[in-house]
Amino acid sequence: MNEQSKNEERDEGSSDGARDTVPNDSAEPKLTHLSDRGEAHMVDVGAKDITVRRARARARVRMKPETARLVQSGTAPKGDVLAAARIAGIMAAKRTPELIPLCHGIALTRVTVELTPVADGVDIECTTEARDRTGVEMEAMVGASLAALTLYDMLKAVDRAITYDVALLEKSGGKTGDYSRKI
C-alpha cells in the first residue's frame, strides 16, 4: 500500500448517527489485545515514544424534565448531585486500569469533568491528558461513564428511568494520530 493510501481517511457510521474519521492504515484492522494464538494479552508499549496524549468523551444523561429541574435548582434529595458526579468522574478516570482488563496504568496529568444541565438531563464531558506511551481514551470514557452512573445513583429515588450514552469525541497524540467524531 502506498503512503497516500495509508494516509487517506474513511468515514464510518456509528449508532448515534455520527460520522467518524479514522485513519485507513490497512484493509483488515488488527486487534492488538489478541496474541497470534487469539488469546487476550496486555499490549507491550515499552518501545513506543512518550507523547502528549489527550482525549475527550461525552456522556449524555437523560431524565424526566421534573428530575432535571431538581438538578438545576440544586434541590435533589441527596444534595449537590453535580459536585458528587464531578468527583466520581475524576476518581474513576484515575482508576481505569483497575476497572478495564488489560488497560495500562497511565500517569494522568489532568482530568476535568464538566457537567452542563439541560432541559432533559445533564451533558457530561470528561477530558484526560498525559505524557505517556499509550492513549487516554479509556480514562476519558470511564470518567464520563462513572459521572453519569453517579447521577443515576443520586437521583434514582425520584427517577428510575434515567438513561445515558457515552462516546469518545476526540483524541490526540500517539502513532495513530488524531481522531475527531463528526456529528
pLDDT digits (tens, 9 = 90+) for 131-158: 988 889 999 999 999 999 999 999 999 9
Does this model's pTM top 0.75? My answer is yes
41-45, 98-102, 165-169: which has the highest mean pLDDT?
Answer: 165-169
- Catalytic residue positions, numbered: 153
**E strands present in the chain:** 9-13, 19-23, 51-62, 108-118, 121-132, 163-172, 179-182
Could you report the per-residue pLDDT of 68-119, keeping only the tens digit for each?
Answer: 999 999 999 999 999 999 999 999 999 999 999 888 899 999 999 999 999 9
Residue 156: helix, strand or coil by DSSP? coil
- What pLDDT, on a 0 to 100 scale, did the predictor assign at position 50? 82
